[in-house]
Amino acid sequence: MKNSKSQILPSTAKILTEFGENIKLARLRRKLSAEQVAERANISRPTLLSIEKGMPGVAIGSYAQVLFVLNLEKDLLKVAADDMLGRKLQDAELTVKERAPKK
């Protein structure tokens, strides 16, 4: 089986980078070392450094573990909490087809 990396859009990469920087700043504000957070999150130090760089290949569970250690896990609940597009589609009662029409 061919091992290929998934490609992400530059805008998504920028968001992940900022997310990683925010996690690093939260760790530094709490005066915790990378080693301490990695140990408490049950991940390796290189994985934590990848998270802090916003690398897309890191499992979301690892991100969640680090957020838990930093007492920020509830921030994950804010993701898609205010889905403006979804609400507009729901209000317009548009039906979304499950598959594309045949040509």
Q: What predicted TM-score, i.e. pTM, was given to this entire model?
A: 0.77
Task: Choose between 48 and 78: higher pLDDT.
Answer: 48
The pLDDT, as a whole number, for residue 67 is 96
- Residue owning tokens 């930093």: 70
pLDDT in tens, 10-54: 999 999 999 999 999 999 999 999 999 999 999 999 999 999 999
Return the domain boundaries, the chain: 10-76
3-state secondary structure labels for all residues of the chain: CCCCCCCCCHHHHHHHHHHHHHHHHHHHHCCCCHHHHHHHHCCCHHHHHHHHHCCCCCCHHHHHHHHHHCCCHHHHHHCCCCCHHHHHHHHHCCCCCCCCCCC
Q: What is the pLDDT of residue 95?
A: 63
The domain at 10-76 falls in which architecture? Answer: Orthogonal Bundle (1.10)
Average pLDDT, the chain: 89
